[in-house]
Amino acid sequence: MSSSSNRSLHRFANPGQFLRLSGAALPYLTASAIVLTAAGLGWGLFGAPADWQQGDAVRIMYVHVPSAWLASAGYTGLAVCSVLSLVWRHPLADLAAAEISPVGAGFTALCLATGSLWGKPMWGAWWVWDARLTSVLVLFFLYIGHVALVRAFDDPTKGYRAGAILALVGAVNLPIIKFSVDWWNTLHQPASISLTGAPAMALDMLWPLLISAIGFTLCFAAIVVARTRAAVMERRIRGLLMARAASDNAA
């Protein structure tokens, strides 16, 4: 990376700049997330047709598919933050990573729970040790491990570094999740939406799914931005308190 690009990266990652930009964007981001999520779920759960094979059980996908997408996308963001932290010492990367992991764990748990709700009527069991399900469960444990590891050290820097290493090692699980249905004979159905082919579902089911996915994504982003803002302000307050304590001790 060139020196000019490096300067740009750190300029836009300045905590003060981040607070100003995120403070202006967060209300719009939150409002858009609420509107699109409500529209997508309302359309999918109450307006879209039932599937000819799965019946009304197919409506679980309007929550399950966006949650599954964000489980992997959130961990990708966590891995990117880890690279920025370890390689370029990005000022906000550690804080963002620490706030992404609990949100990602929540969406992964939602993905697993809705998958179980769908699996009971379709497969006759709440859980099977399918390759896709098992790899997503491993992803959930990676998120939980990152949450615990970041907070396991008295020195936050050591926790951030250990968490970043775990996140990068765990990223090997992402292609396993993605291609597990192609590599192994699994019960989980293959993807219904592909960038290279026509979608394998009717448009009156596809549109509410896409709207729900966008809404969920904006929800994820809004939560992470709000949590990161809180972490930045907490760090500033802690710094002011430590400076005041040092000044009082010196006096």
| Length of the chain measured in residues | 251
What does the block give as tokens for 110?
A: 């939602």
**Which pLDDT belongs to residue 88?**
85
Any domain includes 5: no
Residue scoring higher pLDDT (33 or 246):
33
Q: Which domain holds residue 114?
A: 17-184+207-250
Q: What is the mean pLDDT of the chain?
A: 86
Any domain includes 224: yes
Q: How many domains does the chain have?
A: 1
Any domain includes 197: no
Evaluate if residue 196 carries a pLDDT over 80: no
Evaluate if residue 155 carries a pLDDT over 70: yes
**pTM for this prediction:** 0.87
Q: What is the largest CA-CA distance in the chain?
A: 78
Range with lowest mean pLDDT among 58-62, 122-126, 163-167, 168-172: 122-126
Any domain includes 4: no
User: Which is it for the CA torsion 66, 68, 73, 77, positive or negative?
Assistant: positive
**Which pLDDT belongs to residue 202?**
76
Q: How confident is the model at residue 58 (pLDDT cuts 50, 70, 90)?
A: confident
Q: Rounded mean pLDDT of 205-210?
A: 92
Range with lowest mean pLDDT among 46-50, 162-166, 170-174: 46-50
Range with lowest mean pLDDT among 72-81, 90-99, 162-171: 90-99
Residue in this structure with the two tokens 């308190």, named with its chain if needed? 241
Distances (CA, A) of 182 to 6, 22, 131, 178: 39, 40, 10, 9
Q: How confident is the model at residue 173 (pLDDT cuts 50, 70, 90)?
A: very high
Any domain includes 227: yes
**Which pLDDT belongs to residue 104?**
97
**Which pLDDT belongs to residue 121?**
84
Q: How confident is the model at residue 11 (pLDDT cuts 50, 70, 90)?
A: low
**Which pLDDT belongs to residue 205?**
87
- The DSSP result for 169-182, as a single string, is HHTTHHHHHHHHHH
